[in-house]
Amino acid sequence: MTEQRKFASVEAVAAELAPSYPVYCLHGARLRATVRDFLTLFPGRVLYAVKCNPHPQVLRALVAAGIADFDTASLPEIAQVAETFPEARAYFMHPVKNRAAIKMAHLAYRVRHYVVDHAAELDKVLSEIPDRNLCVVVRLKTAPDAATVYDLSSKFGCDLDEAVHLLRAASNAGCDTGVAFHVGSQCGSPEAYRAGLMRVGEVLRASGVAPTVIDVGGGFPAPYTNASVPPLAAYMQVIRDAYAALTLPATVTLACEPGRALVAEAVSLVAQVLLRKGDRLYLNDGIYGSLAEMYQSRLRLPVRLIRKAPRAAAAIAEFRLFGPTCDSLDVIPGTFTLPGDVDEGDWLEVGMVGAYSNALASRFNGFYPETMVEIGD
């Protein structure tokens, strides 16, 4: 286990490390509070979607806070979970899997749950796992929701007829079965989960198959600065009501797979200003690094100044932020309000970068953010 450096505050990170490289700050208390909310409000099992932030310190903090189940999408993710946390359960929730990965997940890591959304993928799973000690989870397509930033049903999920066929085929082959959907990431509408669960009900009635797991996926939003999203409790109330309406036996497990909402607020980023040109600030991190998601989405992150040396407060001004690579696309969309005297050597703390940040970062031009420290007790 790598040693974790702990600091009293983000200011202390800047003062003590004076980092010329980007540093992720893990806010443990924030993470624990969010996990507690999920575990107390969700009436079932909470699987953390590893792809969202697979940093070992983040995974350890999640497990310490009570997460024991993981939504994984590849053999490396399964291996990371299984080898770091022998007590944890990994679920293979990608609808398109490598044959060897299916076999290894089953034989080496004892994974029981496999998602499918097509008959050919079910055939792969059944032929690679002949002992049938598994649960086939059928992924349904959901209707696109205007309040969702990413629509995942444009790529994955099957319609009702195919789902009925897959459930019957898996059940006839001797497998446990389940039904899952994913409303899309940063979903602004709790009702999208009701629509998904009603669809699950239709599929179950049409198939006559008794499932062992119903999985409402991820998609729960984080409160980015330009996003006004309903509270988590509103989502959980809708899920509770819509699930109750399915009147399934108590032996059925309800599951969810949050990524973003569990970790987005738990990490901030300390980036340094390398050069100021008027209202343009050139930073040591950008859209090929931690801020990749800013480029393709409308999400906006909170940014504040941490001065290299104490100075009298200056009037605020609007700045544009540029990343460190040579690519002219490496600009953070939008303008950012900061004290007007920000200059080379100062740091910016970018908040809410726990989700899809280090997970998406590339090594383009030799820049790669990987240092993480912990803030607080």
Ligand X SMILES: *Cc1c(COP(=O)(O)O)cnc(C)c1O
Which residue ranges make up the site for ligand X (CB under 6 A)? 49, 51-52, 71, 93, 182, 185, 217-220, 257-261
Is the separation of the CB atoms in 235 and 218 below 8 Å?
A: no
Pick 219 or 324: Cβ nearer ligand X:
219
What whole-number distance in Å separates Cα of residue 11 and Cα of residue 27?
13
Buried b (16+ CB within 10 A) or exposed e, 141-158: bbeebebbbbbbbeebbb
Closer to ligand X at the Cβ: 217 or 369?
217
Residue 281 CB contacts under 8 Å (≥ 6 apart), including other chains: 273, 275, 319, 320, 321, 322, 338, 342, 348
CB of residue 171 to ligand X, shortest distance in Å: 22
Q: State in angstroms the smallest separation of the CB of 217 from ligand X.
A: 5
CA distance 364 to 103: 34
User: Which of residues 293 and 330 has its CB atom nearest to ligand X in the complex?
Assistant: 293
CB of 225 to ligand X, least distance (A): 18
**Beta-sheet strands, E only, within 141-279:** 148-150, 176-181, 185-187, 213-215, 253-256, 267-277
The smaller minimum CB distance to ligand X, of residues 71 and 374, is found at: 71
Query: Shortest gap between Cβ of 312 and ligand X (angstroms)?
Result: 42
Structure tokens at 318: 């609007």
Cα-Cα-Cα-Cα torsion 33, 289, 294, 373, nearest 10 degrees, comes to 20
Quote the least distance from Cβ 294 to ligand X, whole Å: 16
- Least distance in angstroms from the C-beta of 176 to ligand X: 19
CB of 360 to ligand X, least distance (A): 12
The three-class DSSP label of residue 18 is coil
Annotate 263-325 with DSSP letters as a single string: HGGGEEEEEEEEEEETTEEEES--TTTTTHHHHHS-----EEEE-SS------EEEEEEE-SS
Beta partners for 148?
A: 187
When the beta carbons of 73 and 273 are compared against ligand X, the nearer one is 73
Q: Considering beta carbons, is residue 151 or 279 the nearer one to ligand X?
A: 151
Q: Give least dist CB 274 to ligand X, A.
A: 31
Q: Which is nearer to ligand X, 156 or 364 (CB)?
A: 156
Q: Of 77 and 330, which CB lies nearer to ligand X in the complex structure?
A: 77
**Which residue has the closest beta carbon to ligand X?**
218
Q: Smallest distance, Å, CB 11 to ligand X?
A: 30
Collapsing DSSP states into helix, strand and coil, what is residue 368? Answer: coil
- Which of residues 272 and 290 has its CB atom nearest to ligand X in the complex? 290
**φ and ψ at residue 140, rounded to 5 degrees:** -90, 150
CA angle at 374 for the pair 40 and 68, rounded to the nearest 5°: 35
The answer to whether 24 and 371 are in contact (CB under 8 A) is yes
> Which residue from 271, 344, 279 is spatially nearest to 318, judged by alpha carbons?
279
